[in-house]
Amino acid sequence: MSYRAVKGMNDILPDEVARWHALERAFRETAELHGYAEIRTPVVEGTELFVRSIGETTDVVEKEMYTFSHHSESLTLRPEGTAGAARAYVEHKAHAKEPVSRWYYLGPMFRAERPQRGRYRQFYQAGCEIFGDPGPACDAEMIDMLVGLFRRLGVADVVANIGSIGGAATRDRYRAVLRDFLAPKAGELSDHARARLDANPLRILDSKDPRDQAACQGAPNILDVLDEADRAHFEALLGHLDSLGTPYVVDPLLVRGLDYYTRTLFELKSSAGELGSQNTLCGGGRYDDMIRGLGGPAVPAIGFAMGLERILLALGPIDAPKRTTCSVAPMGARAVSKALELGRALREAGVVADVDGRGNSLKSMLRRADGLGARFCIVLGDAELERGAVQLKDLAQHTQEELPMAAVVARVAGGAG
Ligand code: HAM
């Protein structure tokens, strides 16, 4: 019997993790510079939270949730982070503590999708949510932050697509318009789309089925049915982006796959690197009705989440800062405890240190030091112990010198230059 990771769920091995750290660091720094504070919510929530907030007739809720029952409770592995953040916002009465909350999160999400490059069953998102600010300036600031972050990361060809889905009244009106447009073509739709025609025709717009895509050609444009307040919000947002000089493209067909959105929607796409068809790096929008819908006060909200695997596919190598590494190679049992002491002293001086305690030959210890990418190797055997000295090998310069034991830590810490 051989064990393998679950399909669509990947190991991230130590030699890949440096790129993850660099990406996560850039995200955290950017979010914190914009006043966001980190929140960590559980990876499991009551199923009903996702059904209520994401929407019963979305792909995520209909087909993609990992749901299980435990002691008669129905629980679900979170397919996204917004519902949990909103639940925490309501549960902890955050609105009573501050008028505006800016939260960010990083972590694994779970969707039972068909795995392919850029689409996994466990994947990592980094996201931000703002609660309590209804204005288009905050939408513009968020989109500008994302464009800036992708630029800083060096993701090429990023395009910010922006649309609006209006408020509840606009959406009801648009649903009716869309239903009237699609009803005569019901026979051409996929079975799944036909079943959604009454309950949620908007979802047909983002169907991947070519029959549905053909039927949607020439569909009425939601931007044409926005009411006055929705239109004013959308135009103010575009005005702010124009004055910031933030590039964007208006996409009148943007609908997004989750039902909680109101007004502003956006997606950032790229064709860079090894991204294939899964080229949406980041998606988000406003969801002004969710907090009230979850039993909280009427607090408006906006947010986004980006898929970290997809961004890493879009990026080439990321230069992670390298710290000086030193391997300590004791020759013989007596030298081992001195080597452990030296290892500790090196780390206290900020040097990454590794003590090779395997009792192997010098050649094998040097090979390992090389494999670790160590700059230095300190060799100490019985003869050196007698003299209170060590041999310091500089593996980059291919030199060796004997130093007093008391001097070697300072020499290594200062000598990586
Ligand atoms: P979403 O569009 O479902 O939105 O996901 C956001 C991003 O997560 C996508 O653009 C993609 O990069 C990544 N992603 C989604 N599914 C997968 C997958 N199966 N494998 C790899 N990456 C994936 C949300 O999740 C919303 N919660 C965003 C949001 C926050 N809206 C408001 N606040």
What distance in angstroms lies between residue 308's CA and the mean position of ligand 1's atoms? Answer: 10
Say if ligand 1 is within 6 A of residue 313 CB. Answer: no
Question: Would you say residue 262 has pLDDT above 70?
Answer: yes
Closest atom of ligand 1 relative to the 125 alpha carbon: 8
Which residues touch 133 (CB under 8 Å, ≥6 apart)?
Answer: 100, 300, 302
What distance in angstroms lies between residue 99's CA and the mean position of ligand 1's atoms? Answer: 27
Question: Would you say residue 416 has pLDDT above 60?
Answer: no
Give the pLDDT score at 196.
Answer: 86
Q: What tens digit of pLDDT does each residue of 12-51 get?
A: 999 899 899 999 999 999 999 999 999 999 999 999 999 9
What is the mean pLDDT of the segment spanning 166-181? Answer: 91
Q: Which helix (H) or strand (E) holds 128?
A: strand 122-131
Give the pLDDT score at 257.
Answer: 87
Higher pLDDT, 14 or 128: 128
Give the pLDDT score at 323.
Answer: 83
What distance in angstroms lies between residue 85's CA and the mean position of ligand 1's atoms? Answer: 15
Higher pLDDT, 32 or 414: 32
In the structure, what pLDDT confidence band is assigned to residue 70 with cuts at 50, 70 and 90? very high
Q: Which two tokens stand for residue 207?
A: 């169907």
Closest atom of ligand 1 relative to the 111 alpha carbon: 19
Whole-angstrom Cα distance, residue 182 to residue 243?
A: 39
Instruction: Work out the mean pLDDT of the chain and round it to a whole number.
Output: 94
Give the pLDDT score at 278.
Answer: 86
Query: Percent of the chain having pLDDT more than 90?
Result: 82
Whole-angstrom Cα distance, residue 168 to residue 172?
A: 6
Say if ligand 1 is within 6 A of residue 10 CB. Answer: no
Evaluate if pTM is beyond 0.75: yes
Say if ligand 1 is within 6 A of residue 123 CB. Answer: yes
Q: What tens digit of pLDDT does each residue of 74-94 get?
A: 999 999 999 999 999 999 999
In the structure, what pLDDT confidence band is assigned to residue 318 with cuts at 50, 70 and 90? confident
Nearest to 169 by CA among 231, 243, 251: 231
Cα of first residue to Cα of last residue in the chain, in angstroms, is 50
Higher pLDDT, 345 or 1: 345
Q: What is the dihedral of CA 392, 393, 394, 400, to 10 degrees?
A: 90
Give the pLDDT score at 417.
Answer: 47
Question: Would you say residue 200 has pLDDT above 90?
Answer: no
Lowest mean pLDDT segment, chosen from 124-133, 194-203, 344-353: 194-203
Give the pLDDT score at 1.
Answer: 79
Give the pLDDT score at 316.
Answer: 76
Domains plus CATH for the chain?
14-167+227-314 (3.30.930.10), 325-413 (3.40.50.800)
Query: How many other β-carbons are positioned within 10 Å of the β-carbon of residue 37?
Result: 10
What distance in angstroms lies between residue 94's CA and the mean position of ligand 1's atoms? Answer: 25
What is the mean pLDDT of the segment spanning 379-393? Answer: 95
Say if ligand 1 is within 6 A of residue 139 CB. Answer: no
Q: Which two tokens stand for residue 254?
A: 């943007």
Query: How many other β-carbons are positioned within 10 Å of the β-carbon of residue 198?
Result: 11
What is the mean pLDDT of the segment spanning 111-128? Answer: 97
In the structure, what pLDDT confidence band is assigned to residue 207 with cuts at 50, 70 and 90? confident
